[in-house]
């Protein structure tokens, strides 16, 4: 069975798919894709480029024949892997860039074997339009925004609150000059895709716990509509004793090496006193990471932190259970 669906019907069915296939090339997939899709490519990166060049510069028919021959070879490998994981009759969603030859070819083969195949009309292009439209018009209005100085444990609190959205986790960035410790960030498109995935699974009537962030987190930009709604949410300022904050920082940045540290220190040079910077570097070179964290919290993070004018409530975060209890009362 092969059924072609428009984007709204496809998204309504998505949770029922046993497998979601992205038939685009690995490079296209890595740049961004529908969350939880698996890349069973019709054409590899090299094949995709070769066929595309042939199509534009020589002959469309020659390109189609070459592409079809590559697709058959790749499909032969994919079918064995799919069959090993999914019984005949399983429900498979599939898409390519624009709903053309790549997804159509694989969909036809899989449906002829006996799989229930649902192909996305207009492909990934229609999905991206869906994401952008959702982010401009999403219905959630109620946000409980956790603010406060660095090291107060806001991200850890979010992990124990539902529903919540951890923007730093989705952006793979901790929102500071040292924030890229988590590694490579996703592309803007990938970030938006997973953000919509999270929002779409939250009841629009429920308040969402979220951390107060600036518009940019490293290379990622928070969508305007979400950022505006966050500014209008209930603002809860989280505070914590300095030693507790130091302990949290040591936990968050335990894998900092010399190269990473020195690079980050250079970036914050305009915002920290020369003496404080020198003290932090000296402590780092001596292996006294506790003092490094304390100096940076007091002499850099606290001084650049801009507390909002409107704060609805402040909570001193000493124990997780007590803080979560207070936050739950706000939610109710």
- What's the DSSP call for residue 41? -
Burial class of 294 by CB neighbour count within 10 A (0 to 12, 13 to 18, 19+): buried
Question: Can you read off the two tokens belonging to residue 226?
Answer: 């979400």
| 3-state DSSP assignment of residue 90 | coil
Give the closest residue to 200 by CA, choosing from 133, 267, 149, 152: 133
Q: Prior bond to 102 cis, omega within 30?
A: no
Q: CA angle, corner 53, sides to 50 and 59, nearest 5?
A: 110
Q: Of 72, 96, 152, 172, which residue is the catalytic one?
A: 96
Question: Can you read off the two tokens belonging to residue 44?
Answer: 């590899």
In angstroms, the CA 142 to CA 331 distance is: 10
- Longest Cα separation, the chain: 72
Q: CA angle, corner 52, sides to 50 and 58, nearest 5?
A: 90
Q: Which residues contact 271 (CB under 8 A, 6 or more apart)?
A: 300, 303, 304
Compute CA 254 distance to the chain's CA centroid, rounded to the nearest angstrom.
23
Contact 265, 279 (CB under 8 A): no
Contact 238, 323 (CB under 8 A): yes
- Match 């529908």 to its residue by tokens: 34
- Match 């939250």 to its residue by tokens: 202
Other C-beta atoms within 10 Å of 115: how many? Answer: 25
Active site residue 72: no
| 3-state DSSP assignment of residue 153 | coil
Q: Which residues are catalytic?
A: 96
């Amino acid at each position: 069975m092969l059924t072609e669906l428009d984007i709204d019907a496809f998204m309504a069915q998505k949770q029922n798919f046993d497998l979601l296939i992205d038939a685009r090339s690995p490079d296209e997939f890595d740049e961004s894709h529908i969350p939880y899709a698996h890349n069973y490519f019709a054409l590899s990166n090299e094949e995709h480029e070769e066929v595309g060049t042939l199509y534009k510069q020589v002959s469309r028919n020659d390109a189609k024949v070459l592409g079809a021959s590559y697709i058959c070879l790749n499909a032969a490998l994919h079918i064995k892997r799919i069959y090993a994981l999914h019984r005949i009759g399983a429900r498979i969603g599939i898409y390519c860039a624009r709903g053309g030859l790549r997804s159509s070819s694989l969909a036809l083969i899989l449906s002829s074997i006996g799989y229930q195949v649902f192909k996305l009309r207009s492909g990934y292009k229609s999905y991206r339009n869906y994401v952008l439209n959702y982010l401009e018009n999403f219905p959630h209005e109620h946000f409980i925004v956790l603010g406060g100085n660095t090291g107060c444990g806001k991200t850890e609190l979010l992990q124990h609150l539902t529903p919540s959205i951890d923007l730093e986790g989705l952006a793979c960035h901790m929102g500071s000059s040292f924030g890229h410790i988590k590694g490579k960030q996703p592309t803007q498109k990938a970030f938006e895709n997973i953000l919509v995935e999270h929002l779409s699974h939250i009841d629009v009537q429920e308040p969402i716990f979220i951390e107060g962030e600036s518009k940019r987190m490293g290379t990622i930009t928070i969508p305007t509509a979400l950022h505006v709604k966050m500014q209008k949410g209930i603002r809860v300022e989280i505070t914590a004793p300095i030693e507790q904050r130091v302990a949290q920082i040591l936990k968050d940045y335990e894998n900092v090496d010399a190269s990473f540290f020195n690079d980050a220190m250079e970036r914050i040079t305009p915002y920290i006193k020369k003496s404080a910077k020198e003290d932090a570097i000296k402590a780092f070179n001596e292996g006294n990471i506790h003092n490094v964290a304390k100096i940076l919290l007091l002499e850099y993070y606290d001084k650049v932190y801009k507390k909002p004018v409107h704060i609805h409530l402040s909570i001193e975060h000493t124990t997780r259970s007590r803080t979560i209890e207070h936050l739950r009362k706000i939610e109710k």
